[in-house]
Structure 1
Amino acid sequence: MIKNHKTATVIGTIFFAIISFIALFPILGLIISSFRPSSDLMRNGMSLTFNLGELNIDNYFYIFTEAGEYWQWYGNSLIISALTICLSLFFSSMVGYALAMYDFKGRNFIFILVLFIIMVPFEILMLPLYDLMIDLNLIDSYFSVMMPLIVAPIAVFFFRQYALGLPKALMDAARIDGATEYGIYYRIMMPLMLPSFAAMAILQGLNSWNNFLWPLLVLRSNDMFTLPIGLATLLTPYGNNYDVLIAGSVMTIIPIVILFLFFQRYFVSGLTVGGVKG
């Protein structure tokens, strides 16, 4: 029995290692291409075949010394993603916590609305949101990009499911000791919800960092572009700046990797515990 278990473990490890390699295959091709000369990229495109003697760091040297617009886009994406993560965790967690821990009129109806919005494609909501941004005079601003993600329905649902597993007896004990409702949340319940915060930080950060369609609608000026939009502008009918595009695309991976490494300890537990009640 033990031998069969070890064999199954080895087979499973090999299988998932192969799957992981296949998933990383495009990233590996991107990294290798970032060290190839831009002229070679123009002739042959991206591939895993390369001449070791032709590899160099000229593309990275260019984006660090001459591609000023790229770092403007990079900074915009960092600011928007950081603010989106902080605001989304703050507001979405409070809404989800309230829906889970308090009994009030209309609670179930609000939760049904949250589920309904999750099922509605964002493309259907874009036009009303765009009209709202125009009415609020927020076009071409950071807030216009962040607004749809600040109270994300999927985050509200996730925090509610996680909070359902928290013991309400702690709330009663804190009220006896004179704690306010805000004090109960920030001092007692929020520390218990840290795994869910870590999981949502990664998911919301990834959504914000990779967001393309919505920023494309609400941003106008070149110095306000985020990375996905800015990199897309490098591909034109009149010329393609592969030296910035390929190396710049590799650089975009770094913040997400750092975010995941920072929260990975809580990520799996946050997803598994938050997915069930109790």
Structure 2
Amino acid sequence: MKQQKVTTWVGTVFFGIVSIIALFPIFSLIISSFRPSSELMRNGMSLTFNLSELNLNNYVYIFTEASKYWQWYGNSLIISGLTIVLSLFFSSMVGYALAAYDFRGRNFIFVLVLFIIMVPFEILMLPLYKLMISMGLIDTYTSVMLPLIVAPIAVFFFRQYALGLPKELMDAARIDGATEYGIFFKIMMPLMLPSFAAMAILQGLNSWNNFLWPLLVLRSNDMFTLPIGLATLLTPYGNNYDVLIAGSVMTIIPIVILFIFFQRYFVSGLTVGGVKG
């Protein structure tokens, strides 16, 4: 018992130190967001600061003059929100079908899903880009969301999670006259809530931080997402640190809210979904 307590204490201290080290960049970013832009250009970002130099001018500038920033913010919120909802809906149905139904070609489809997971997205970007051009979807929300709606990693995760669901419930529902869609939406989906929470966080984080694909398919400044918009502030002719640093801090807020909202189910969803075979 004593050895177990010592092990727990050592593990807690170790991971606490690792967490603090991992949070250093965020601490530095938050502190720098209160510094004048001129001081940032002279000394860069650091954890050391002069309390008398800190102010709210950067945030005041964002809320009063940086109208484009909020347009980018809105674009990211719309794209990420729709991507999360559509990805959870379609990916869960595909994963559930691969786990719950025995049909010809099921294992082959699952192998294809695993193969696509192993293929880097950069290899798929060119054919996807040509597809978006042929469909006339360039510079639209749809072009950004479409490749992420049925995410292979989400299909794999939902399939693994659904393998652990009791199929006796499906048989009982069929006896009561429930349709296959009714079984999924009314019986199985509530049982899969932890997996939905875990995937909502992961898919939301992936969509919110997505940079390369939106950079390819979005053309106009009004359609830019936050990662692209903030990147445009760094130019050879000047760097708008007033918006860049404070705006970067503001981009963390939606992900933190998303995690707080779903963290109750996050660990259990990942654990159960990862061990089913």
Both structures adopt the same fold (TM-score exceeding 0.5):
yes
Structural mapping, 1:241-260, within 5 Å: 241-260=240-259
One-letter amino acid of the structure 2 residue matched with residue 166 of structure 1? L
| Partner amino acid, structure 2, of 1:19 | V
**Distance (whole Å) between structure 1 residues aligned to residue 112 and residue 7 of structure 2:** 44
Deviation at 1:8, TM superposition (A): 1.4
Structure 1 position 277, deviation (Å): 1.7
In the alignment, structure 2 segments of 5+ residues that lack a partner are none
AA partner of residue 140 (structure 1): D
Q: What is the aligned partner in structure 1 of residue 221 from structure 2?
A: 222
Q: Does 1:30 align with 2:29?
A: yes
SS in 1 for 2:41: helix
Where do 1:158-173 residues align within 5 Å?
158-173=157-172
- Describe the superposition over 1:74-127 as per-residue Cα deviations: whole angstroms up to 9, x where unpaired: 000000000000000000000000000001111111111100000000000000
Q: Secondary structure at the match of 2:45?
A: coil
Is the aligned partner of 1:114 residue 2:113?
yes
In the alignment of these two chains, the number of paired residues is 277
- For residues 206 and 271 of structure 1, the distance between their equivalents in structure 2, rounded to whole angstroms, comes to 15
Letter in 2 for 1:126: M
Aligned to 1:105: 104
What corresponds to 1:190 in structure 2? Answer: 189
Q: CA RMSD in A?
A: 0.6
* Residue matched to 2:85: 86
SS at match of 2:136: coil
Q: For residue 181 of structure 1, what is the aligned residue in structure 2?
A: 180
Q: Give the deviation of 1:60 after TM superposition.
A: 0.4
The 3-state SS of whatever aligns with 2:48 is coil
What's the TM-score once normalised by structure 1's chain length? 0.99
How far apart in 1 are the matches of 2:274 and 2:15? Answer: 23
Q: What is the CA-CA distance between 1:4 and the residue it aligns to? A: 1.7
Cα offsets for 1:109-161 (capped at 9, x unmatched): 11111000000000000000000000100000001000111000000000000
SS of aligned partner of 2:275: coil
The structural deviation recorded for 1:271 is 0.1
**Moved runs in structure 1, 4+ residues, more than 2 A?**
none
One-letter amino acid matched to 1:111? F
Taking the aligned partners of 1:35 and 1:214, their CA distance within structure 2 comes to 32
> What SS does the corresponding residue of 1:275 show, helix, strand or coil?
helix
String of CA shifts for 1:38-87, please: whole Å, max 9, x gaps: 11001111111111000000000000000000000000000000000000
- Identity between Structure 1 and Structure 2 (%): 87
- Distance in 1 between residues matched to 2:274 and 2:9, nearest whole Å: 29
Aligned to 2:139: 140
In structure 2, what is the equivalent of residue 57 of structure 1? 56
Counterpart amino acid of residue 53 in structure 1: S
For structure 1, the 5+ residue unaligned runs are none
Question: In the aligned structure 2, how far is the partner of 1:267 from the partner of 1:89?
Answer: 14
